A and B are shown apart, each in its own frame.
Chain A
């Protein structure tokens, strides 16, 4: 091997020189062109797929892709123009049918053509960035048929007309519609939207605008809502049947706007059938419908809620400020409870337990309950009534339910401490009147109050119960120590009340009859013997007595009277007639109380054990009293209470309120101190805010009162003003 000449061997591609007939391209194209024609003329069966594919392949290979493509465009366009004309020529109702049919044919043809020209699709088109065949076919259809001037409008109008017909109750060919809309969607979402959806929405808007106007003039609210709901459902069904799903939110929006949003206010305020009437009549079905429909619209629910709130406040206010209602506190509260029940039901059944509605309900109740400053008192009376009466035949659960409901009302009260005061008074009266009421029910309420308001609130109430219990034990001990004295002297039952737990009442001691005094002193001695260091004071204004009375004709009765009344009646054991003045002197009963007692003994039919001369209702100093010999009653036991005056008289009310105000002062001061201790230095506004928050479970403090207490504390040198900023207060340790 000589390395003299190096020869580089080149390996070259084998050039296959194909002599292309210059007319080759033209010839091949003609074949393909012919094929396309045949396809469009439904003569495709005679064609050879393989041959056509090969032809197209060759053309592209030999760089005739451009010719092929442009030829395709031309040919298809020509055909489409033909088709367009034939569609235009169709008369009347068959227009859409024809359009649909031709579309079907076109797509089939397109598929075949695409298959044939697949090689071009994959190579020439990608490299030259032309539109692929199928898409090209669609675009050509769009431009030549759909957007052709003669067809475009007609198509749209026909579709819209059909929809309108359906809306007015006729049946239309939904299948056809589905195909047409599908065609539009296939052509591109912008085609669908511009050529159909937008005008559809516009037309629908004006249709519903007109219809809603019509309805609102002739229908009442409930009917209107039914119709609106129906239309809404219709549209949704329409979409699911033959429109694109994306249209659903748009068309529902249109219906909501036209039928609901535009007429919301009018509907809600409609006389005799609007929201207020629905609420009053408990029309749950209508309310549910309204809620569901209005939910779809912005501010819809707010409208309902606001109207409900203002209506509720109005009704509540009327309830609470109607002077007629004050005469029966129990009924007053019952009505409030009923109202609450009603709305609870409505919110649960119709408003889906919507929290915002609950809140509106709560705030309304809180608003109007506190409009009447006697609400706390009335609620206390109601509780009193429910626990006191009706315990026969009412199950514990029912009582429990009632108490829970009352607690709800109680929470709305701003002045809870007033409730406490009254409840104490009423409870005291009940406990001391010797009425045996279910302990459990009372205890239940106290437990609930404790959970709500804290221990301090209920400690006094519990103290009262404890006293009652202790007194029972004390009595047993007393009688045991006395030995059995049958029939000697009156039987004494004593309740020892711890001052501070019980509501204070000025005790004006009256002159007890001698028989009573004796046994009272024995008790006093016994008690102080076991409890030295305590002081006992007889509360003669709070006791009761059972008297055995024999009248002139031999009638025997047992009278249950108050201690005062007993003192009065016992006088007549020794004297026949007495003037009012004399009675007053003998018994030392305060004048006001005396008058009331005498009235109840002499002026009430069926209980007039005393006779009064003159026989007037009023008691004057010189009126003469004597035992009523002619007294008749079918009952053996007669209860002659003093006017049980459950509701307070005006001066008593003032007094109670004043006491409460006095009680509040130290509480406010304590709260202020707590706040200042924590914050050291702070401004007036934040003191007010914090103090109000702290006292919220008991009452709502008046800012002016808070200010006065602050100044009081400054005087007492618990606080001082900051030297630099006079608006700040500083805690003095």
Chain B
């Protein structure tokens, strides 16, 4: 928003207020219409995949259903209830996707802004609509780009507030979850290796680079480049695999 000029900013505000859309969609539509409000409305409503208008009253009701009685947030109990209503297991990875859409800061809690904002973005204002969206959200995991974003998001989301690194146990749990979706055969060895050799928290860099590693390096490690600026944990992992004969590396 701060990149826009004064006049533009006003238009975006107006647009959002009228259509109930997100800032992103508003900017998109306005840009496409060369910053004419009427034109923007046309574009917005004529788009096939537009976010449907959500009723803010419904959203308030939904939020209040799940919110904790003492704090203005949805906490564990609320989430459990939500999952029940959605007929989904709280451990189901789709909840991660939901959290990602909501830009939730930490796992097991949603703030008002996160919850309402997220649902608005998704065009959901009833439980039924929510349930329907779930399969769409699951499919998002198949998209390479989105999966990467979700994966990287998971780090910040899963770690303790105020910590820089992710506790090992949590990390392993997340990896198991994520790599069940996008299959990586070495994930078990990786987790074992960490427990045996490392036993400390995981840094963000290691987390994100692991995905790259899983994506680019083949199972025989034949295209693993020692000079490839991989995090040292991954270098050690490769050593571990070779030492224990799990992988025969043929040096070129």
Contact = CB atoms under 8 A, between A and B. Distances in A.
> A and B: partners?
yes
A715 B229 contact: no
B229 A726 contact: yes
A704 B235 contact: yes
B231 interface: yes
Contact of B205 (A683, A685, A715): A715
B203 A707 contact: no
A729 B228 CA distance: 12
A711 B232 contact: yes
Contact of A715 (B204, B209, B227, B228): B204
A685 B204 contact: no
Contact of A707 (B164, B204, B212, B232): B232
A715 B164 contact: yes
Contacts of A683: 229
A664 to B, nearest CB: 16
Nearest to A727: B229
Interface string A699-728: 000001001100100110000010000111
Interface size class, chain B: 10 to 19
B19 interface: no
A455 interface: no
Contacts of B126: none
Nearest to A716: B164
B153 to A, nearest CB: 16
A681 to B, nearest CB: 13
A721 B63 CA distance: 39
A684 interface: yes
Contacts of A727: 228-229
Contacts of A715: 164-165, 203-205
Interface string B203-239: 1111001001000000000000001110110010000
Contacts of B164: 715
Contacts of B228: 684, 727
Contacts of A711: 203, 205-206, 231-232
Interface residues of A, number: 14
A250 to B, nearest CB: 50
Contacts of A684: 227-229
A726 B212 CA distance: 9
B227 A726 contact: no
B240 to A, nearest CB: 14
Nearest to A713: B205
A381 B165 CA distance: 45
Contacts of A714: 203-205
B232 A708 contact: yes
A637 B94 CA distance: 86
A707 B209 contact: no
B209 A726 contact: yes
Interface string B103-114: 000000000000
A684 B164 CA distance: 23
Nearest to B213: A726
**Residue of B165, B209, B227 with most chain A CB atoms under a 10 A cut-off:** B227
Interface string B184-218: 00000000000000000001111001001000000
Contacts of A726: 209, 212, 229
Contacts of A729: 229
Interface in B39-94: none
B232 A704 contact: yes
A729 B209 CA distance: 13
A82 B165 CA distance: 112
Interface in A154-203: none
Interface in B116-170: 164-165
B235 A707 contact: yes
A684 B209 CA distance: 15
**Residue of A683, A721, A728, A729 with most chain B CB atoms under a 10 A cut-off:** A721
Nearest to B212: A726
A540 to B, nearest CB: 38
Nearest to A709: B232
Contacts of A708: 232
A721 B209 CA distance: 10
Contacts of B229: 683-684, 721, 726-729
Nearest to A728: B229
B227 A685 contact: yes
Nearest to A684: B229
**Residue of B165, B204, B205, B212 with most chain A CB atoms under a 10 A cut-off:** B205
Contacts of B203: 711, 714-715
Interface string A510-548: 000000000000000000000000000000000000000
A245 B205 CA distance: 76
B3 to A, nearest CB: 19
Contacts of B212: 726
Nearest to A708: B232
A415 to B, nearest CB: 22
A29 to B, nearest CB: 90
Contacts of B231: 707, 711
A721 B205 contact: yes
A162 to B, nearest CB: 65
B212 to A, nearest CB: 6
B200 to A, nearest CB: 12
B199 to A, nearest CB: 16
Contacts of B206: 711
Nearest to B164: A715
A16 to B, nearest CB: 100
B194 to A, nearest CB: 15
Interface string A1-12: 000000000000
**Residue of B164, B204, B229, B235 with most chain A CB atoms under a 10 A cut-off:** B229
Interface in A476-526: none
Nearest to B225: A727
B56 to A, nearest CB: 36
B235 to A, nearest CB: 7
Interface string A672-716: 000000000001110000000000000000001001100100110
Contacts of B204: 714-715
Interface string A652-677: 00000000000000000000000000
Contacts of A685: 227
A704 B239 CA distance: 13
B152 to A, nearest CB: 12
A684 B235 CA distance: 14
Nearest to B236: A704
Interface in A373-428: none
Contacts of B227: 684-685
A685 B227 CA distance: 7
A684 B225 CA distance: 12
A721 B231 CA distance: 11
A722 to B, nearest CB: 10
Nearest to B165: A715
A214 B164 CA distance: 80
A323 B234 CA distance: 38
A654 B212 CA distance: 38
A333 B20 CA distance: 83
B163 to A, nearest CB: 11
A726 B209 CA distance: 8
A92 to B, nearest CB: 75
Nearest to B205: A714
A727 B228 CA distance: 6
A161 to B, nearest CB: 64
A719 to B, nearest CB: 9
A85 B151 CA distance: 109
Nearest to A715: B203
A711 B205 CA distance: 7
24 contacts: A683-B229, A684-B228, A684-B229, A685-B227, A704-B232, A707-B231, A707-B235, A708-B232, A711-B206, A711-B231, A711-B232, A714-B203, A714-B205, A715-B164, A715-B165, A715-B203, A715-B205, A721-B209, A721-B229, A726-B209, A726-B212, A726-B229, A728-B229, A729-B229
Given A708-B232, A726-B229, 4 more contacts: A683-B229, A704-B235, A715-B165, A715-B203
Pick the 5 closest A-B CB pairs, nearest first: A684-B229, A727-B229, A707-B232, A714-B205, A715-B203
